[in-house]
A and B are shown apart, each in its own frame.
Chain A
Amino acid sequence: MTTSERQALEAYSRGDLTALELRRRLHGASYGDVLRLLSEEDLPLPRAPVAGREAQIERARAWMFPKHVP
């Protein structure tokens, strides 16, 4: 893996790069390839921050489990 590819993978892991852009930079790698590379480089999967999306997540929860949401 080249330095720029490693940097792109790190940026993706931090959530600074989309999977689509990363896959382009890795010459058409699949999402499965991305998972494998993250694992090999000991990098965590990205996590979308919840801040700013609370209402949308709560709406989805109410749709998914209408009887259980207070």
Chain B
Amino acid sequence: MSHDLKIFVVDTGPLITLAVAQSLDYLLYVEADVVISDAVLHEATYDAARLGAQDIIDWVKAHRTRIEIAPTKAYQVFDAARASVPNLREPDLGERSAVEVIEEPDRLTGNERGVLLCEESTVLKRVVVRDRTRIVELGTLDFLRILEQEQRIQSAELVFELAAKAGRTPSRAEKLPGHDAAIRQALSDLVRRRENDGPELER
């Protein structure tokens, strides 16, 4: 992880939209490190029946050198609370954890800059960030249109059309019943590996 540009995935929207359109690799078409908070990854994958969950886990595992799973206090507290309330849900957990990551004092030092990749309705809300000279927000479609302008992909709209049709077809996980436990284990392994990673992932 050594690029000056970081793409922070702020909520589950971009991951799921790209996953169901089989386009997660588009996040890697930019010379940047991709940073996903532990809570955003959890929200996107904790239920195997969720659209794109298995694809997201597979993609993260396949690209560990480009993707950082950032541990957060928000998720740590949530995870501890789940011990007594197993069905605990916090709809804004992902966003809170992502903001926690972006606001870490040693993030974006020197020439580093950040693109916050948000779900379409979030990008207009303007996520509160400390340094707007270093950070800009993009919606998923903005990101795809830039790739299209740079002739890295054929059509941003096509990705959105594929995502819009996703509800009419079963997810991979739905076709493979019983994968829920496997996905939970995979997520735990990914977070644990991040916590135990060597200096190359430290900031």
- A residues neighboring B (CB under 8 Å): 12, 15, 17-20, 22-24, 28, 30-33, 35-40, 44-50, 53, 56-57, 59-61, 63-65, 68
Question: Contacts A18-B125, A35-B20, A45-B17: A24 and B167 contacting too (C-beta < 8 A)?
Answer: no
A64 B122 Cβ-Cβ under 8 A: no
- The A contact surface, by secondary structure, is helix
B51 A32 Cβ-Cβ under 8 A: yes
Binds A, one of B59-67, B98-106, B136-144, B195-203: B136-144
Q: B146 at interface (Cβ–Cβ under 8 A)?
A: yes
Question: Top 4 A-B pairs ranked by shortest CB distance?
Answer: A39-B167, A36-B167, A32-B51, A48-B139
Interface centre among A15, A63, A68 (most CB of B within 10 A): A63
A-B contact pairs, 10 of them (CB 8 A): A15-B121, A19-B122, A31-B12, A32-B16, A35-B20, A47-B160, A48-B121, A48-B124, A63-B115, A65-B30
* A44 proximity list for chain B (CB < 8 A): 164
A60 B115 Cβ-Cβ under 8 A: yes
Shortest CB distance A45–B (Å): 5
10 additional contacts (CB under 8 A) given A19-B11, A24-B91, A39-B168 = A19-B122, A20-B121, A32-B51, A35-B16, A39-B164, A39-B166, A45-B17, A47-B120, A48-B139, A48-B141
